[in-house]
Structure 1
Amino acid sequence: MSNFETFHQQTQPLLLANVWDAESAKLAKLAGYQAIGTSSAAIASVLGYEDGEKMPFEELLFMVKRIVESCPLPLSVDIESGYSNDSKKIVRHIQQLAELGVVGVNIEDSKVEKTRRLADKCAFSEVLKEITDELKRRSTSVFINVRCDAFLLNLTNAREEAVERAKLYEKAGAGGLFFPCVTAKADIAELVKSTTLPINVMAMPDLPDTNSLSLLGVKRISMGNFAHILVNQQLESTLKEIREQGSCDSLFA
């Protein structure tokens, strides 16, 4: 079992710093994090793209390579829905990342076309099984964290849908399950109960604190692209102050 996989079995949840470039990764290491994960939305923003696989996979690879070479922490990469509908091509993408030293990936069960929509759960599960089976055949060890977007899309039956998908994805070979935007303790408890896989939640304004999440059985907490948004908001505020005050003092405050 890899160190990264072991991190998902700790008493306290693995707190994953979501990064977008080499510098943010190095800062996560300095702050004492055990592991890091990329934010696809943040990297896309840095490179001038909208989220939703608008960024070419080759450009994601470039950024991942720079992060891996700049920071020794275990890295999980957000590959959205795999940058393809073809399981063989998705496996090639994951293989390329693994060859760079990536230890995990997030793959999501929704896709952005005109709007973001959930994939058919049975069809997605079949593709997921093809991916995990082929990775095993190649002896490629990567932690597959499957993101279910039932809560992110605010479905009226989000809990029921997520529980059904959790069971299917576990059978298909997922290593962990990620439910962004779930915040209610009752929902989280039901998700934990529905699977033997480690459950990952995402930072939200009304998410319970880490100790509460630990008691509920959560094993991983991600930050999404919120750190990147915060940094950009602070930069925007500073740049406005400089222009409005006619002074660069704000840079040195």
Structure 2
Amino acid sequence: MFDRGHGPSGSTLFHALHHGDRPLVLPNAWDFTSAALLVDAGFPAIATTSLGVAAAAGLPDGRAASADETFALARRLTRLPVPVSVDVEAGFADDHEEVADYVARLADLGVAGINIEDGRDNTELAKPERQADLIGAIKARVPQLFVNARIDTYWFGIDRESTLVRARLYAGAGADGLFVPGVTDSATLSALVGATPLPLNTLYSPGGPDVDDLAALGVRRISTGSALYRAALGAAVGLARTLRGETGELSTAPDYRRIQALLAAADSPDADPTGT
């Protein structure tokens, strides 16, 4: 048996999970208990959701605000007997060596992989060559770590024509997987699968292809992103509203923008710190 899912053998297992007969369904947890329950449900690996980790601490996602919270959760998750992949947003720093230092510290905890994005501040994209340099710096420090390179062209809806260029650059820099959230059409997915030999990661979408269709297209990993966290919030609010006598559809999951807006409002200088 491998050593609790992490360390060199855990990283090797995590790599192997991307090359099985079926795509790796990788659920994204936001705290230790959500991760532990997913492991108990039989999932062979766990990832984190940057939105869930940040929002649970009252911090915005995608703004490099939750480095400490992410690291603290990673430390706890490596107690689990499965490989763990950590979403580090864009690396929580501008300096490549500083990012590599942070990722190396995660690897020292026993983390098997990371997800790192080329989006910046939820509004723009890093230059592809600079992002490739960042990926190269990380792999030079922790070559055994699975680096999932997220491309945000479709997620942001900008510069989509650079997607395949980015995919090839990031693969050439040493990335182990490619993640292009926001793509659901079969033709684009097929083009992405064929762009590099790296396993393609997609984001689960209720309106997109199912697992069988994604497998037939060559997708090797399916992430849930913030969907589980948001579903849990929706269920909690729905139950609370039921208890005060409301009826009807009460458990709708809040979307990403709604959560970010709530966090921004709470952080506003005009917010009442007493909550009154």
TM-score normalised by length of structure 2: 0.82
Q: Distance in 2 between matches of 1:236 and 1:73?
A: 31
| Alpha-carbon distance between aligned partners in 2 of 1:216 and 1:80, rounded to the nearest angstrom | 27
**Residues of 2 paired with 1:77 and 1:49: CA distance?**
17
Q: CA-to-partner distance for each residue in 1:154-179, whole Å, 9 max, x for gaps?
A: 23x62x32111101111111010001
Could you list the per-position Cα deviations for residues 78-120 of structure 1 after superposition, in whole angstroms to 9, with x for gaps in the alignment?
A: 00000111111111111111111100000001110xx521111
Once the two structures are aligned, what percentage of the paired residues are identical? 34
How much does 1:63 deviate? 1.5
Matches within 5 A, 1:1-253: 2-69=12-79, 71-112=80-121, 115-136=122-143, 141-155=144-158, 158=160, 160-244=161-245
Partner amino acid for 1:187? T
| Cα deviation, residue 205, structure 1 | 2.3
Over 2 Å off, 4+ runs = 53-56, 133-136
Q: How many residues align?
A: 236
Deviations 1:8-52 (A, max 9, x none): 111210000110111111111121111110001001111111111
Give the Cα separation in 1 of the matches to 2:138 and 2:40. 35
Q: Is the 8 A contact 2:48 2:86 kept in 1?
A: yes
Shift of residue 54 of structure 1? 4.6
3-state SS of paired residue (2:28): strand
Which consecutive unaligned segments of at least 5 residues does structure 2 have?
A: 1-10, 247-276
The structural deviation recorded for 1:135 is 2.7
Structure 1: 5+ residue stretches without partners? 246-253
Q: Distance in 2 between matches of 1:193 and 1:54?
A: 32
For residues 142 and 110 of structure 2, the distance between their equivalents in structure 1, rounded to whole angstroms, comes to 15
CA RMSD, Structure 1 to Structure 2 (Å): 1.4
